[in-house]
Structure 1
Amino acid sequence: MNTLNVKAFGTVAPEADLKEMTINRRDVTSNDVEINILYCGVCHSDLHTARNEWGGTVYPNVPGHEIVGRITKVGNSVTKFKVGDLAGVGCMVDSCRECESCKEGLEQYCEKGNIQTYNGHDKHTNQQTFGGYSERVIVDEDFVLRVPENLDLAATAPLLCAGITTFSPLRHWNVGPGKKVGIVGIGGLGHMGVKIAKAMGAHVLVITTSLAKVEDAKRLGADEVILSTDKVQMKSHAGTLHFVLDCVSAQHDINAYLSLLKRDGSLTLVGAPEHPLPVAAFSLIPKRKSFAGSMIGGIAETQEMLDFCGQHNITSDIEMIRMQDINKAYDRLLKGDVKYRFVIDMASLKD
């Protein structure tokens, strides 16, 4: 198989900074499209993987799974896209396509394990996959998304992870008019959750630990904002919410948020705390409450999310950076010093 030399930014070890490198991409097969990457969002997962904090990272590692670009080449069997089309790639680039989950359009829960956009296994090259911190990417057309033309492209990139991670559970638990929804934590995920839940027609209550985020939460569309550290405010909203989306990745008292649910209410965790969260039995039993988790969505649902965001003019709040500033961005990400998502202008990679 022919390969292409592609400029990228990646790391060769957990403790090493990301730096410019050359990687090999396969040429397009009959079902592939080649995408010239214009923008790539920076997800906390990128940092975790680059530094091997979850284990299993293969080096060299090139992160990036919030990819927006323009198609420059298509295989001879491609029917869904043509050269010049805007396209997006999210967290996965393939799956087994044969298991029950894949057949139901839930490739994110592939029973054999979906193929991640980076640090996955490319069946064509028998090597690891490389992500969007690069000039271009080659992906099977079945795992490529159409990007709405009306949206700001840079601010659309984070929808491919942060957008679908919040959209999928909100949709699955039937959030909409007549539902009162709590969003815990206003960061890269939470700020998208507020925008999407509001566009779905729900009454949105933001729960935050930071007084400084109250006004920003209202700007994003929240109908109400309460401080989780204020016991009076929390008690006044106990038993009032149909659904809570928990976007917090730090340790926190999950029982405090479960107390906000009505009978048959559900709390879904999309943040990923490092350590287990203790759950009291009587936080769930008395009112038949549910505590669940959720990943990203499947390809069809991700396309539905992009179309929904196009219709409602929803994008992420971003700060644009140059590729060469990625290590500084990682340091700031660890401090929570971003509102609310870094996006790399990939044109800077040519500098």
Structure 2
Amino acid sequence: MRLSILFFFLLCSSYSFAQKYYLLIGTYTGTGSKGIYVYNFDAQTGKAKWVSNTDTITNPSYITLSRNGNFVYAVNETNGAKPGRVSAFSFNKINGKLKFLNTVLSGGDDPCYIAASYGNKWVAVANYSSGSAAVFPINKNGSLQTYSQLIQHSGSSINKERQEKAHVHETVFSPDNNYLFTPDLGMDKVMIYKFNSSVKKPLQPASPPFINATPGSGPRHITFHPNGKFAYLIHEMGGTVTAYSYNNGKLKAIQELPTHPEGFKGTLGSAEVFVSPDGKFLYASNRGDENTITIFSVNSSTGKLKLIGYQPVFGKAPRNFIIDPSGNYLLVANQDSDNIVIFKRDKKTGLLHETKDQIRLPKPVCLQMIRLNN
């Protein structure tokens, strides 16, 4: 009897701990932010509590964690200084504190995205204004070497103001770590590279080397379904999301839908796209005049989407959002209203429900999560 009670207690304690995470927040620092913030987040209650933050660093507008969670990497948009920079931090999963390791040049202007490969060997960075992608070897202590390969995109599209040249907006590794996808808003293309983590210059053009997007749509971010069979691309300027079948570096379009209501006449500004951990729903954020999250159901057999509804974000410019690994909550970073809004997810319907819980801090633009160490 005592053993049964002890087992029950340990099981409950383990489950409770498994629902607790560190929430890391990247920000712009021009209006009082100190850079990267760390919070405890409880996925059972939806409550967040401040843990630590960095000393002031310049505009860590996008951050990512190494696959083992021991290191954090951030792009630094350098307020007009050229080129931008990339910074590395060690992360203590016991106390939730960051320690600065080093910084290197990003290889281009206004870096806006960073991703870590499997194996903790590389990070890939998108330099928006200069239209380039760079890859950086990671040292054993987590610090960064200077980039070993810089790929310059060249091209334009039909919008002469915003698509006058290449604008790389993201660098995303495929689920099998064998490819790198780089949506380019300026070229209306997603460039595709074969990725070999064991060589000094790990990127080579894939076959095919790119896919075209609808002219003037401005592809921004791409995400993969948990089953690895589908991918979804959101278009910033067109306000649409495209569904693709995916196999071994190849994307085939199967559907394209708007992320805004029929007849909407306001300014568009689609930003982020994610699939829920269970693969049943897709969420897309809309900035501009909408300030909403669009909710789609996902057919796990075909990959096609069906509109479920729209959720106001109770803020302005929902640039980034995240679903906690348990799937219980969706958190939205509203860049222009200085708040992160916490929504409860209905796992059956996909709908979001306001919790009244918010995190207030200046210019939040990127959210990442990692489970607390046990």
Normalising by structure 1, report the TM-score: 0.29
Which has the larger strand fraction?
Answer: 2
